Structures are given as structure tokens and as C-alpha cells.
Amino acid sequence: MRLFPTAAALALAACSSAPATQYFMLPDSQYSRPAAQGEEVAVKVFLAAPLDNGGLVYQTDALSINFAKNNLWASPLDAALANSFSNKLNRLNPRYVYAPAGRSQSGKTLKIYVEAFNGSYRGQTVVVGYAQWPNGQTRPFKAETAQQGDGYAAMVQSLEQGLQAAAEQIAR
């Protein structure tokens, strides 16, 4: 009988423990320098303030967003996006060699401003922003991609599809 209170306390403590933290990587976010030769362009990503908190972001209704506390990016989002955009642009436009700004010696920088990079209550993910080319020309991008399945892993896969569409819009 003496063990019952101790067992009950341990069971209750297990129920109240915080959920485990889960870390996510963007697919295609490990930079791979292409074999092609060409003029190098550095890629620098700037995030809107709500995106720069380390967690995944989900829009819960027309006016509210939620910052995940236990579902986090495995690396800084701006660096992962710079790697991913560089990889995608290298495949889309082999005339140049795109490299994340931290790995480039180029004086030419493609600045990519990401205003939205989140899941949405409407069942889709949103990737919105604009790119500023070294010559000052800007090009907006907007990609809304249907999310296939529930949960953060499905959201990350959908965001990857949105990134591909955004890169295609930048490369035009």
C-alpha cells in the first residue's frame, strides 16, 4: 500500500511532462556547389521578424499566427533558405553559380526577402517575398501549395514545394 502514492505521483508526473522537441530540416537545404562554371552570385536571405524565432510558423486564422515551441528548425532558417535557393537556382539557371553569401567571395549579391513562410488554416503553405538582383531589379514571388496530410512534417514538405515555385519565379 505504501507504493501506491509513489506510483500515482510518478504516473501523474509522466502525464504532465512537456512534449519532446522535434527538429526539422528543409529538404535540399544542404548546399551543393555545382560543377558548372560561371559568374558567381551570392545569395543572402532576409526574414520577416515573425519568421526569425527558430520555430515553425502556422497561421491559425485570418488574423493570428502561432509560433511552434516544440517544432523547431534544425538550423537557422535564413541559412537553410539561402542554401536551398542557391541549389534550386543553380539547377534553373546554369549561366551563374549561386552560393550562399557566407560561402561566397562574390561582390554581386542576390537579396531574397521572405515575408511569409508558414502553414495555414486553409490547408496550404505560403511562401511570399521578393528578390532584389545585384542590378537593383526586384522580382516578387508568391507560392501557395496544398499541404498533403497533417502535421509539421507534411507542412515542411509543402513548404519545400513552395520554395521550388518561388525559385522558378525568381529565375524568370
Q: Given pLDDT bands bounded at 50, 70 and 90, which one contains residue 16?
A: low
User: Over 90: is that where the pLDDT of 32 sits?
Assistant: yes
The residue extents of the domains of the chain are: 22-171
Q: In what helix (H) or strand (E) does residue 167 lie, and over which residues does it extend? A: helix 152-171
Query: What's the pLDDT score for residue 110?
Result: 98
Query: What's the pLDDT score for residue 17?
Result: 65
SS3 37: coil
- Strand residues in the chain grouped as ranges (E): 22-24, 39-47, 55-59, 65-73, 96-100, 109-120, 124-132, 138-146
User: Over 60: is that where the pLDDT of 10 sits?
Assistant: no
Residues with Cβ within 8 Å of residue 18, at least 6 apart in sequence: 70
Render pLDDT for 74-127 as a digit per residue (tens, 0 to 9). 999 999 999 999 999 999 988 899 999 999 999 999 999 999 999 999 999 999
Query: What's the pLDDT score for residue 13?
Result: 53
Q: Given pLDDT bands bounded at 50, 70 and 90, which one contains residue 137?
A: very high
Is the distance from CB of 153 to CB of 26 less than 8 angstroms?
no
Options 3.40.50.10610, 3.30.460.10, 3.60.20.10, 3.40.50.720; CATH of 22-171: 3.40.50.10610
Closest CA to 134 of 114, 103, 107, 101: 107
Render pLDDT for 142-163 as a digit per residue (tens, 0 to 9). 999 999 999 999 999 999 999 9
Render pLDDT for 58-71 as a digit per residue (tens, 0 to 9). 999 999 999 999 99
